[in-house]
Every structure is written in C-alpha cells, then in structure tokens.
Amino acid sequence: MAETKTTVTAATAKASSHQPKKSSNLFATLAVPICLVIGFVIFYFVLGNPANFEGNNPDGHPIAEGAGHWFATVYKGGFVVPILISVLLICLTFVIERFLYLSKAKGKFSGSELVRKVQYHLANKNVDAALAECDKQKGSVGNVLKAGLKKYKEMITNTELDTDQKILTIKNEIEETTALELPMMEKNLVFLSTIASVATLLGLFGTVLGMIKAFSAMSNAGAPDSSQLALGISEALINTALGIGTSAIAIIMYNYFTTNIDSITYAIDESGFTLTQSFAANHK
C-alpha cells in the first residue's frame, strides 16, 4: 500500500513538473501566428490607411506631413514590411515573456542571499528553518535547494547508507532538480537568437527588392528624376531600418537574459556545494 502511494505521488510530481513546459509550448505555438496576423493587420489597415495618402489612394504618394506621412512611407516599403513588423512583434512578445519568467525565477531575493541563510540554519542543524527560507525565496534556486534539503533531511535518519553514499544521493537529487529548472529558463531564447540574425537579412532583402524596383522604374521612365529616385530609395531603406532595429533589440535582450540565467545557474551550483559540504561536516 505504501509503495503504491509513493508511486502515485511520484507520478503526480512528474506531471506537475511538465505542466510549465506544456504551457510554454502552447504559448510559443500561439504567439507566432498571432503576431503574424497582427503584423499584417497593422500594415494594411494602419499604415495602409487611405487617409495617409494623397487623394486617399494607397497607390499614390504619402501626405505631406504628420504621422500619416511616416505611416504611408513605411507602407511603401513593400511586402517585406509586414513580415518585419511581425518579426518585431514576435521579438517583443518573447522578450516580455522571458522577462516575466526570469523575474519569477530569480525569486523574492537573490540566490546568493538564500544560500547564506541556508548555510546559517544548517550550521545550527535546523533543516526546517532552511526549508522555510526556500519557500520564502520562491525562485529556481529555492526550488533546487528545497529538493536538496528534503533529501538532506531524509539522509540524516538513513541508517542503510554510509556518508559518501548519502552525499552522492543529495548531489543526484540536486542535479535532477536542476535539470528540470535550467531548460525552462532557456526556453524560447531560440526565438531571440534566430531573430537576431534573420531580421537584418530580411531587412536587406526588402531593401534590395525596393532598390531594384526604384531603378527599374527610373530606367523605364527615361531621364531619371532625382526626387523620385530619392523617394524610392528612402522607401527601400525602411526595410533596413526595421530589420536592424529588430535585430538590435533581439541581440541586447538575448545577452541580458543569458547573463541572468548564468547568475541563477551559479547560485544553484553554489547551493549544491553548500548542501554537500554541510552534510559532510555535520554528519561524519
């Protein structure tokens, strides 16, 4: 009966640990097509609003001044523009999602501070107080430490294993919990790393197409009109501006998030070392 109960509990815990991953996958699956739809809606109904053009004709020139002038100019950038707008929206969506998740993963206070508090309680052989600190922290370091402390508490009363085996058991518990935490922190960063390189290429692709179109129109019209040529080039360069801007945001935020993850990972490693050293010192 006890064995069945343990199996059910383990299965429940495992299912619970996979729930955030499923939610994250669903978020990524929905976010990309939604951003694509929004990007095209913005392009055709906001930037392409007839009020932004002379004579209310989207095929005509942008109005002389105001926000509508800039909206119409961006609209004239061509069919790559809505793709770039969608990529920008995808980038911002995952930036916000990762920022919220990692803010939660950091916990209520820093991992280093938690490790110091746990060290103090373990030195006083008060495992329950150390567990309470993990509950207060509510972050990834707290989750890993809590799992390790539970195993730590279990090993104190274990009479079947020697000290080295107990330490190895605690290490394994910490490594298993860490293996569940780290992938969730790195989740969806692949979108930012991909956008960082692809956005610039998309921008250049749109610019090249725009330049080809502009010079082709000039050659067909006979003598080039410098103002019309300048307008065509400026419309083509809209793609470059969008691509570079999106890529810059993706690169900056990717580096910011990876730095935060490295900091949390270091605190997790420190917490694991603290537990094993404490057990070795207090239970020789």
Residue pLDDT, tens place only, 87-125: 999 999 999 999 999 999 998 888 888 888 888 888 888
| Res 232 pLDDT > 90 | no
Residue 84 contacts residue 92 (beta carbons within 8 Å): no
pLDDT value of position 228: 67
Confidence of residue 226 (pLDDT cuts 50, 70, 90): low
59/81: higher pLDDT: 81
What's the predicted TM-score (pTM) here?
Answer: 0.84
Q: Which two tokens stand for residue 250?
A: 């993706």
Of the candidates 47, 274, 283, the one whose C-alpha atom is nearest the C-alpha of residue 149 is 274
Query: Average of pLDDT values for 51-73?
Result: 86
Confidence of residue 222 (pLDDT cuts 50, 70, 90): low
Confidence of residue 262 (pLDDT cuts 50, 70, 90): very high
pLDDT value of position 98: 94
Q: Which of 23-37, 144-158, 186-200 has the highest mean pLDDT?
A: 186-200
pLDDT value of position 132: 92
| Res 194 pLDDT > 90 | yes
